[in-house]
Structure 1
C-alpha cells in the first residue's frame, strides 16, 4: 500500500484532483467528508462541538450550522484550535479505519486540506500538492464559489502559505491552467504513484 497525502490551498483544485485520482483507481480517504460525518446529528462529535461552542452553532433541524461555526472560528485562532481539538482526533480514527480496509496493493490518497498546517507530512509515503497562484485561487473563490473577496482572502490567510505547502511536496500538480492540462498532469503523477506502489 502506498499512502499519499494530497493537499492544496483553498481554491487550488484539490477536490478536482482527488476526483481524477479516484477515476484512475485510487482509494480516496477525504478528510472533509469524514469531518462532516463525525459531527453529523446524533454523533458524539456534534455533542462535543455544541458543548464547546453553544447551541448557536446548530440549525433548527439539529444539524451543524457550518457558516455560523465558521464565522466564530475563522475570526479567532484560539476558537479554531478548540474546534480542531474535537474534530481532528475523530477524523484520524475514521481515516485509519478506511485505510485498513483498502487492498494491500492500493494507492490510498488521503485528501487533507490542512496537511501542511498540522504538520502531517511525515504520516505519508509521499505528499502531493495541488498548486495555483494566489491570484488564480482568489479569482476562483470569488467567481466560482461566490465568496466575498474579503472572506476569500481571510480563508486563504488562515491556511499555510503557498511556499509552506510547496516545501513539503514530493510531487506538485500545477493547476494554474485548464482542465485538459490538469487531467494530463494528474495522469502523469498517477503513473508515477502506481510505479512506486509496485516497487
Structure 2
C-alpha cells in the first residue's frame, strides 16, 4: 500500500476531486477536514485546549465549536493560527495514522489523504508516494469563495492569502489537476490520475520492505532463542 497526498487551496476544487475519487472511482479517501471536526467535538482534548486558549467566545451555546467565529479569529492573526494548529494537528495526525493502519491491514492498494495543509505543515510529505494539487487561479478562488460562503471580496481574499499560494504548491507536487475549466475537464483528469495510481507497482515495494523487516525480526528472534537454550 502507498499513500497519495491530495491538497489545494480554499475553494480550489479539492473537495470535488476527492468526491470523484471516492464516490465515482471507489478510492479510500481519508479527509483531514472531517477528522479535524471529530477531534474538537465537545469533551475531547482538542476541544478543552481550544477553550483554554481562545475562551468561550468561539463556542456555541450548546458547547460545540463555532467554526465561523474561530475562523474570523485565526485568519486575521497568524500567531493565533499557529496556536490552533499546534492544538489540532497532533490529534489529527494520530487519527489519520490509525485509519492508515486499518486500511493497510485490509489490503488496500493505495489510500488518498485529503490534506489541506500538506505542504504548509510538511510533516506528512515524506510519507507520500504521490502529491497532487488541485489548481485554479486566485481570482477563481475569490469568486467561488464569495459565492459559496457569501463572503465579501475582502473576507475571501484574507482567507486565501492566509494560505500558501497555489502556484507555490504546484512547484512542490508530483501531479497537478487543473480545475480552472469545466467540470468534465476536471473529471477526466481525475480519472486519468486514478488509472496511473491503479497501475503503480509502488505497493509491492512497500509490502516487500515490510516482509523483509518482518523476516529480519523473526530471524533475529530465532537466533536469540537458540543462543539462550544452547
* TM-score band, normalised by shorter chain: over 0.9
Residue 69 (structure 1) shift: 1.1
Unaligned runs of at least 5 residues, structure 2: 205-230
* Over 4 Å off, 4+ runs: none
1:1-24 alpha-carbon deviations (Å, 9 max, x no partner): 120100001111000100111121
Residue 130 (structure 1) shift: 0.4
Answer with 1 or 2: which has the greater Rg.
Answer: 2
Corresponding pairs, count:
199
Residue 57 (structure 1) shift: 1.3
Q: How does 1:65-104 map to 2 (within 5 A)?
A: 65-102=66-103, 103-104=106-107
Q: Which moved more, 1:114-123 or 1:10-19?
A: 114-123
Q: Secondary structure at the match of 1:117?
A: helix
**C-alpha distance in structure 2 between counterparts of 1:70 and 1:186, whole Å:** 30
1:144-198 alpha-carbon deviations (Å, 9 max, x no partner): 3322111110111011112210111111111011111111110001000111156
**Normalized against structure 2, the TM-score is what?**
0.83
Residue 104 (structure 1) shift: 2.6
Residue 143 (structure 1) shift: 2.2
Pair 1:110-2:116 in alignment: no
**Normalized against structure 1, the TM-score is what?**
0.96
RMSD across aligned positions (CA):
1.3
Q: Which has the higher helix share?
A: 2
CA contact (8 A) 1:29 1:108 kept: yes
